[in-house]
Structure 1
Amino acid sequence: MSTTTAEQAQARYTWGGDEFLFIEVDEAMSLAANFRVMAIAKHLTDDLPEGISDVCPANASLLIRFDPETIAPADLEAHVRGVEQQVADDHETTLQTRIIEIPVWYDDPYTNEVGARFRKNHQDPGATDLDFAAAENGLADKAAFIAEHHKLPWLVTMVGFVAGLPFMYRIAPQSEQLEVPKYLSPRTDTPKLTVGHGGCFACIYSVRGAGGYQMFGVAAAPIYDPQQRLGDFDDFMVFFKPGDIVKFRPVDEEEYRRIEQQVEDGTFRYRQVPVEFDLEKVLADPHGYDETIVAALEAAPADREQANGEQGGTK
């Protein structure tokens, strides 16, 4: 994790039909590559040229949709290359973001039931997803894996695939990433709010549907609210944004049910605090950075309404 944004090679540009420009920052996922993607995307969206209809950042790349009758492809490529160079010249390494606590009921009955129905799709039909993940990562048992899974924070590297689904990469050296392969073939069912894992990426399934990631538990509160009932969705129906930082917190069934009731009542608010993501500090001392931002979250009021009132986020 010693590579900085300034040291990375120039991105690769390719075209998708007449309306899409694809920019591949790196062939491999890394915190540095994702930070560079976010910086380029932010510059583009902050000063969006006429003719660009969408900028979609991903883990180590971004896709731009444009109208070739409004902006010529050559002009678009020249503009984006200029933005890429500006990001490199400015040596931007910080991002103002937030860390969010996500309550999770690990080893829950919902994902366990679905997992049992789809064992024929799995590498190890005789084990649960958590048992398999523990073995793949050299851990003693599923309890040890669960403890490792929520120990460190995760960076939201992209949002998509289905509405509001976040992909997350552990803020840790690459040698400490948790890696688990996806199912051999996808399931036709995954419980809503399943905390899943495929490769080195965690995710939260925003809605019920098909999926191939290993299933470790269920988040207790929505991350996608089309009706915008809850206060955390005042601005947008999708909760997560690229650059958000997630800290999973294990809860038991009793607390899970209590949060469910708060969601039903419309009173639930996520515990969250603003933090600065500093790429250079993360690369130099990832564990020190993790400790600092987790301490900031833990110092915030435990009461969700109080915490959000202090941030000016209540209705």
Structure 2
Amino acid sequence: MFTLPETNFHFGGDEYIYAEISSDMRVESNFKALAVTAELRKRNIPGIIDIASSNASYLVRYNPDMISARDLLDYLREIDLTKSDPKELNLSVRMVEIPVWYDDPITREYSRRFKNRHESPELTNFEYVMRYNGFHDKEAFIEKHSSTPYLITMVGFLPGTAWHFPLGVEKSDMIQAPKYASPRTQTPARSIGIGGAFNVIYPVNGSGSYQLIGMSAVPVTDIENLLPQVDSHFLARPGDIWKYRPIDESEYKQIRADVEAETFTYRIKQIELSPLEYVEKGNDYIRELTGDF
């Protein structure tokens, strides 16, 4: 029977235990990190201060005056073992649509502004990612990128930044790109970047090194609680699936106006994600799951 990777545990000073499920990014490892950390929160073990899941690992901060490192490690090993069986990993997550204006003038301008930090200064970031992945037709590239669902594997770095990894695509067929040779000092909020196989939507203006390919029409942070569907300040939740939908300039401006008027409604679908079916069916399961969205 297939089991998920065995976890290696490491002590981090007197307050942290770091659990490494795998040394490289694997979707199955992320499923396990999500399931273990969800179970830890559910148990509400006294002495645990914070729990954070990552791409293929998780971190637990604890109060050593309330629980010993060895006792906590016993808890973690017991929970981690039960979550090594794919049958035990049923995840209730959301599928969220992100309307995006690809190859827009904003990200083209940032490509020009910071071209001296790029290994191919004669190209926009969009053109660079296209060529790097063997595309010569703009629409074919957009179709490939937008038809791929992306798993939110981690939230962090800047508050609200959601690192998302392609689902239902063989590794050799993933859209990927190296980062800037030297990071930009400015990146526009809501711009979509690619670094390695990961995608991000920058939540606010700031530095960045991922290749910019378009602009999300919708915010991924909602600090002022203007959008009722976002029940926290941040749109992303680890384990959610994001799907991009290509839009043109006219629709981009209309959605931006709706957001400003507080009338925009995200397209969101609640789904039950079965890692067991993913293990058994692979990419066919992801296509079944996202086919009507």
TM-score bracket for the superposition, by shorter chain length: over 0.9
Alpha-carbon contact 2:10-2:17 (below 8 Å) kept: yes
Distance 1:90 1:51, change over 3 A: same
Displacement of 1:68: 1.3
The question of 1:97 aligning with 2:89 is answered no
Matched residues in 2 for 1:150 and 1:283: separation? 24
Q: Which amino acid aligns with 1:105?
A: W
Displacement of 1:132: 1.3
Alpha-carbon contact 1:156-1:169 (below 8 Å) kept: yes
Displacement of 1:222: 1.0
Distance 1:182 1:149, change over 3 A: same
Q: How many residues align?
A: 292
Alpha-carbon contact 1:99-1:246 (below 8 Å) kept: yes
The question of 1:157 aligning with 2:166 is answered no
Displacement of 1:280: 3.0
Q: Which amino acid aligns with 1:110?
A: I
Displacement of 1:20: 1.5
The question of 1:256 aligning with 2:252 is answered yes
What is residue 223 of structure 1 aligned with on the other side? 220
Q: Which one of the candidate residues 228, 237, 242 is aligned to 1:241?
A: 237
Displacement of 1:215: 0.4
What is residue 70 of structure 1 aligned with on the other side? 66
Matched residues in 2 for 1:90 and 1:155: separation? 17
Distance 1:56 1:7, change over 3 A: closer
Matched residues in 2 for 1:138 and 1:212: separation? 21
Alpha-carbon contact 1:135-1:141 (below 8 Å) kept: no
The question of 1:207 aligning with 2:204 is answered yes
Q: Which one of the candidate residues 76, 79, 82 is aligned to 1:86?
A: 82
| 3-state SS in 2 of match to 1:210 | strand
User: Which consecutive aligned stretches of 4+ in structure 1 deviate over 6 angstroms post-superposition?
Assistant: none
| 3-state SS in 2 of match to 1:150 | helix
- The alignment's TM-score, normalised by the length of structure 2, stands at 0.95
Q: Which one of the candidate residues 114, 120, 145 is aligned to 2:110?
A: 114
Deviation digits for residues 2-35 of structure 1 (CA, Å, limit 9, x no counterpart): x95x142x21111222222111110011111110
Alpha-carbon contact 1:106-1:146 (below 8 Å) kept: yes
**Which stretch of structure 1 is more off in the superposition, 273-282 or 67-76?**
273-282
The question of 1:168 aligning with 2:164 is answered yes
What is residue 179 of structure 2 aligned with on the other side? 182
| 3-state SS in 2 of match to 1:162 | coil
Q: Which one of the candidate residues 7, 17, 20 is aligned to 1:21?
A: 17
- The alignment's TM-score, normalised by the length of structure 1, stands at 0.88
Alpha-carbon contact 1:194-1:218 (below 8 Å) kept: yes
Residue segments in structure 2 that go unaligned for 5+ positions in a row: none
The question of 1:40 aligning with 2:36 is answered yes
Deviation digits for residues 75-102 of structure 1 (CA, Å, limit 9, x no counterpart): 1111111110121257324312121110
Q: Which amino acid aligns with 1:87?
A: K
Q: Which amino acid aligns with 1:169?
A: F
| 3-state SS in 1 of match to 2:199 | strand
**Which stretch of structure 1 is more off in the superposition, 131-140 or 31-40?**
131-140
Q: Which amino acid aligns with 2:37?
A: A
Distance 1:63 1:196, change over 3 A: same
Alpha-carbon contact 2:82-2:88 (below 8 Å) kept: no
Residue segments in structure 1 that go unaligned for 5+ positions in a row: 298-315
Displacement of 1:283: 3.6
Matched residues in 1 for 2:7 and 2:75: separation? 14
Distance 1:292 1:7, change over 3 A: closer
Displacement of 1:293: 2.8
Matched residues in 1 for 2:289 and 2:86: separation? 25
| 3-state SS in 1 of match to 2:36 | helix
Deviation digits for residues 177-205 of structure 1 (CA, Å, limit 9, x no counterpart): 22111111111100001111101101111
Q: Which amino acid aligns with 1:44?
A: L
CA RMSD of aligned residues (A): 1.6
Alpha-carbon contact 1:133-1:142 (below 8 Å) kept: no
Identity of aligned residues (%): 36
| 3-state SS in 1 of match to 2:58 | strand
Distance 1:93 1:296, change over 3 A: farther
